[in-house]
Amino acid sequence: MIHFVGAGSGAPDLITIRGKKFLEEADVIIYAGSLVNPQLLDYAKEDCQIYNSAKMTLEEVLDVMREAEKAEKMTVRLHTGDPCLYGAIREQMDVLDKEGVSYDYCPGVSSFCGAASALNLEYTLPEVSQSVIITRMAGRTPVPEKESIESFAAHQATMVVFLSTGLLEELSKRLIEGGYSKDTPAAIVYKATWEDEKSFVCTVGTLAQTAKENQITKTALMIIGETVAHSNYERSKLYDPGFTTEFRKGTDAE
């Protein structure tokens, strides 16, 4: 059996209880060494075989899985955050499907959630933004043309930008071209929930300058939008005494 497991956003105690159990039971662990906190490997048993996929190709990862299956061993494929975001899991699963190999998927805490916790941030403030756009800049790997930063910026929703720390001048330019003002609140969160986490509140126009001043060159998320400012939002209807819900009668029902 192969378990795809989300390692969480960084802190070793932010893995799920289920994910930790899989790590403790695994005979083989293949972990994304470029971003997964190596402290999570402390949960592995002594005789567990551990592979760092940062140094491997897809074919090499699959070969390790196949060998483990032949030997009736349990494998954990440990991905950063939640593997549904930029985890490249589907290409692995498609091969396993073709070969009739059983697997399942244990979710994890995404780094975009960890970044919000670093700033005590709510991405969805009433009358400010009720949507979160998760995207990245095109770099060495492309992004579909229909998913340009400019087109997303036109919505003025909260935006979380992954994998783009080295492209911040271009990111700012595209955000402004798409509709955000240069003074729109923004933030950079470096290594969310890790011991050396850092967070910086700035503006769309000062993203590159803020990163340069604080020597942030990689492993960071950018958050764009008015929700970063925690202001000018309306009270939630959910807890408004004047609003009736399925579980509580409000004054509007009187």
Give the Cα separation of 123 and 45 in Å (integer).
39
Look at the chain and count its residues.
254
Predicted local distance difference test score (pLDDT) of residue 138: 86
Q: Cα separations (Å) of 89 from 82, 104, 153, 194?
A: 10, 11, 28, 24
* Mean residue pLDDT across the chain: 95
Per-residue pLDDT reduced to its tens digit, 29-68? 999 998 999 999 999 999 999 999 999 999 999 999 999 9
For residue 253, pLDDT beyond 70: no
Predicted local distance difference test score (pLDDT) of residue 141: 84
Predicted local distance difference test score (pLDDT) of residue 73: 97
